[in-house]
A and B are shown apart, each in its own frame.
Chain A
Amino acid sequence: MIKMNHLYKTYLKTWPALKNVNLEIDRGEFVFLTGPSGAGKTTFLEIIYLEELPTRGDLYLFGDKIKKYSYNKRAKLRQKMGVVFQNFKLLFYKTAYENLELAANVVGFSPQKAHKRILEVLNQMRLSHKINTPIYQLSGGEQQRVAIARALVTHPDLILADEPTGNLDPAISKSIIKVLEQINARGTTIIMATHDYDLVNNYSYRKLHISKGKIYE
């Protein structure tokens, strides 16, 4: 599903964020990406969801080699992915439903299909009772579950989670990982970046470690 060959990402021409990354991630995998702050975890994810393009090397996504794609082509590829952030990136004055509706409309779901799918994922995230609640009235854990629901609403093949438990307490963090595990069990590939080694050590999934832009298995 994802393949990187001798991939480099350099900022400001001299500052390397990723150095000679060679790896392959298969469909249905659950991968933890660990590393200290500033190690390159976010850059790694940004390269995958095409927010950034590699400076050098080859990147394959869903079997296609990524070249210098136009904005719209990258957008179409992004529709196959769901992204979850540490700071949720939700519209705080909109309801959980409206936040999900935004994503459903972007991919062109009909109102009926969007409605059905939104209810389905909110139910899956156990948020059916919060459907019309504005985001600012939800707890941190609930907000993160809405963010995951938004990532799921478009039936993505891949979910990228950038420190999704960074702002949450350990119990809620575990519940978020449990949600991600359930999603993974349905065949969706998950890549989760975190600097919380204790949390990761509780699981037996594949672990990648990133340090100063280099990735180690």
Chain B
Amino acid sequence: MNKLFYLIKSAFVNIYHHRRIAFSLVLSLIILISINLFLLMANNNIQNILKAFNKDLRVELILKKDTGSNAISKNIKSIKDNNLISVEEIVVNDAAENLKNFVNSSKVIEKIYPLLDKNPLPPTISVKIKFNKRSIQNIDKFISRVNNDTISTIIYPEEWFSRSLRISVWSEYAAYGLIALFFILTYILWIHIFKVSLFSVKKEIEIMEIVGGTKTYIKTPFFLESIVYAVLSFVISIGILRYLYVGITKLFDNIIFLYPKQVLYAFVLTFFITLLGTEKAIGKFFKK
């Protein structure tokens, strides 16, 4: 308990001694973390825009003309039970319903419709798909799985599906690639600036080694110090991004912020990067 108290006290003494360099350290961290969080938010919004564009994404199954209700039920069950895509809604129209919709679609057709001696239209199943990467990636597999001899044609916007997938995947690659790059930059920058701050206590570390300080004992105040900087930088970065978000939402609707899970992951990552960077920086000051 005494040791812990002393280590915490030492951490705050270090913060006070390093206050000038700590300012640069925290400022650089804020810039890098803010960029990362902004990239994460940008990716969220690209995915959101794609979702909005694809909110009426459907696969139309045109059944054979004389398909009975049993066969239709079987098809619906196979669609519902699939584990390839996320289905939002299934709409079944029998032949009569389709004819009614067809007739109501135009005045001309309404006039010539009595000339037909029988209904030429087949029943259909319309599958509304939830837009997500899994659904788009698996759409071809889904179609070949549901296809059977009761279905005459399957219509879906194949080109649109693959384009959406490409945009979604590349947006994620670009965002996470840049985030990884900035986190590596954060790590390198942290090591170097923290090392500079440690030069002022180099002699203290040497003396602690001489008087029998264990590595854990010597390092702990510096780890505590870096945790304070990391938490401070992260909180300020989130604040900046939130402020920016509020500003953007005044100009554009439907902008989404970060998800709580993302904030948590980003925080954990920042925390570990700073600890690893601190460990690397202090390591240079130990003889063996």
Chain B residues, CB < 8 A from A34: none
Chain A residues, CB < 8 A from B286: 71
State which of B20-28, B58-66, B125-133, B204-212 sits at the interface with chain A. B204-212
Select from chain A the residue with minimum beta-carbon distance to B217.
Answer: A106
CB distance from B198 to the nearest CB of A (A): 15
Chain A residues, CB < 8 A from B215: 71-72, 75
Q: Is B2 touching A111 in the complex (CB atoms < 8 A)?
A: yes
State which of A24-32, A76-84, A124-132, A181-189 sits at the interface with chain B. A76-84
Q: Is A102 touching B287 in the complex (CB atoms < 8 A)?
A: no
Q: Is B203 an interface residue (CB 8 A)?
A: yes
Q: Is A109 an interface residue (CB 8 A)?
A: yes
Binary contact readout A94-131 vs B (1 if CB under 8 angstroms, 0 otherwise): 00000000110111111100000000000000000000
CB distance from B211 to the nearest CB of A (A): 4
Q: Is B2 touching A106 in the complex (CB atoms < 8 A)?
A: no
Chain A residues, CB < 8 A from B107: none
Q: Is A103 touching B211 in the complex (CB atoms < 8 A)?
A: yes
Chain A residues, CB < 8 A from B74: none
- Residue in A78, A90, A109, A110 whose CB lies within 8 Å of B212: A78
Q: Is A75 touching B214 in the complex (CB atoms < 8 A)?
A: yes
Q: Is B261 an interface residue (CB 8 A)?
A: no
Q: Is A108 touching B212 in the complex (CB atoms < 8 A)?
A: no
- Residue in A77, A91, A107, A108 whose CB lies within 8 Å of B204: A91
CB distance from B287 to the nearest CB of A (A): 7
Q: Is B213 touching A75 in the complex (CB atoms < 8 A)?
A: yes
- Alpha-carbon separation in the docked complex, A77 to B286 (Å): 17
Q: Is B111 an interface residue (CB 8 A)?
A: no
- Residue in B2, B212, B216 whose CB lies within 8 Å of A79: B212
Q: Is B207 touching A91 in the complex (CB atoms < 8 A)?
A: yes
Chain A residues, CB < 8 A from B288: 71
Q: Is A196 an interface residue (CB 8 A)?
A: no
19 additional A-B residue pairs with CB within 8 Å, beyond A91-B203, A103-B207: A49-B210, A72-B214, A72-B215, A75-B215, A75-B217, A78-B210, A83-B211, A89-B210, A90-B207, A91-B204, A105-B3, A106-B212, A107-B212, A108-B2, A109-B2, A110-B2, A150-B211, A154-B211, A154-B212
What are 17 A-B contacts defined by CB distance under 8 Å? A49-B210, A75-B209, A75-B213, A77-B212, A78-B209, A78-B210, A79-B212, A89-B206, A89-B207, A91-B207, A102-B208, A102-B211, A103-B207, A105-B3, A105-B6, A111-B2, A150-B211
- Report, nearest first, the 4 A-B pairs whose CB atoms are least far apart: A79-B212, A78-B212, A103-B211, A72-B214
> Footprint of A on B, CB under 8 Å?
2-3, 6, 203-204, 206-217, 286-288
